[in-house]
Structure 1
Amino acid sequence: MVLINSYSMENQRFDIVEENYHHIFQLLCQIKLSKEKLELIKSKFKDNINSLRRYENIDDMKELLKILEKRCVIGHDNIVKLYDIVETVDDASKQKIGKHLTNQSFWLSKIPSTPINLAFCQDTQMCSTIPEFSLSVEVTDYISSNIKRYWQNFARALQIIQEKEIDRIEEFDGNKTKKCLEIFVHEANFQRLSNPYGTLLNALEVIKRRDIKEHVESLLMASFKRS
């Protein structure tokens, strides 16, 4: 088995993407919106927010953006929904923010969408079956012991755990992060994700735990080399 690591993104390039995204975030927060215009923008994301109490408590753009980030609807590498917001604002803001969104799209096109790409065949012929995805006890224990109270952000960043599952995990007495990982492994195999390892590492990047991501990546690399 040959492991091909395509996570060769330069730190400088990633920093540019993050900085530009935060600038877009700030520009959106600075827009003066009427109550009616804010309600119009909010209505576009009612299903994503999926909580009447939270929806009704949003009274400015900043609060809306924060909730959308927590729901993994927007982020430095997920800007599609930002266009839905920008198309609703005034022309001057639309033009200014539109430039930054164009720049963000350009930089994102230069960065791999997932941290690692695993190839299980030495030649160009693809394997006919996808190996069953699993995580070692070492990886599971390390992640679950370091995420702790931020497990909800992590669960949403994995993108395949539904909100109703997160609600069920909330009532679980054991390690909630470990439960998230169990569900993730099950769903990854059920949905036959082509690169679940990349999805896992990307989720850690999204919740800004690059320290955990780097250690987990080294554990995975060591594991693949032993295979």
Structure 2
Amino acid sequence: MIATTYSELKQKIAFSLTLFVSNLSHDHEPLNSLKEFYKDQINSPRRFEQIDTLGKLLKILEIRDVLSEDNIEPLKEMARRTNNSSDLLRTITDYELRNNQHDYHHYYPENITLEKKMGHTFNNRNTLDNSLTQKEYRIYETIKEQIGSYWCILGRKLQIRECTIDEINKANDDLYMKASKIMDLYKVKADRQNWFIILCHALDNAKREDLTKKIQDIMMMNI
């Protein structure tokens, strides 16, 4: 999978929203809605009136430091307003995961000792690590609680062996426990960089797009 840069991410969102607008009878309705949404951040009546394209809105949000490579919340908001929100939010999530992964490894070169990592520098990264862990926990729990009888289909889509799925089915009566076993197996084998994207694809292929949307919403939360 090719990593999406910040510039490419902006272009994808802008193109999708522009395409969405072109199919509406009220051409500027989503843009006007977004302008109103960010009116306080724009903080200038003259600038507000001058914004007549999505590109201009993105530019002023960057000038106001509301949008940046490290803060893409406005892109999420724009993605939610398109008819292709699921795919765009997945792309955004992939960007965030890759960006966080890059920051982490850049911050800790391999020649830094464990003692230094355990010191003050390491503590500055705890917020990032704890946030991702909490999100992972909520994502896995949501799937366990709501996947229901689709647990075995999800297991297959996650490349869990059929014999293992049969063993889980025989050893457990409760659907939550069956789903828990599947998710525990996935957590062990999952690629740390792409685990969320793979999980979303598996849910989609298991015909549980509703759960895909729910875990995407969790991944977007500031927790």
- What TM-score, normalized to structure 2? 0.41
Greater Rg over alpha carbons, structure: 2
> Would you tell me which structure has more helix in proportion to its own residues?
2
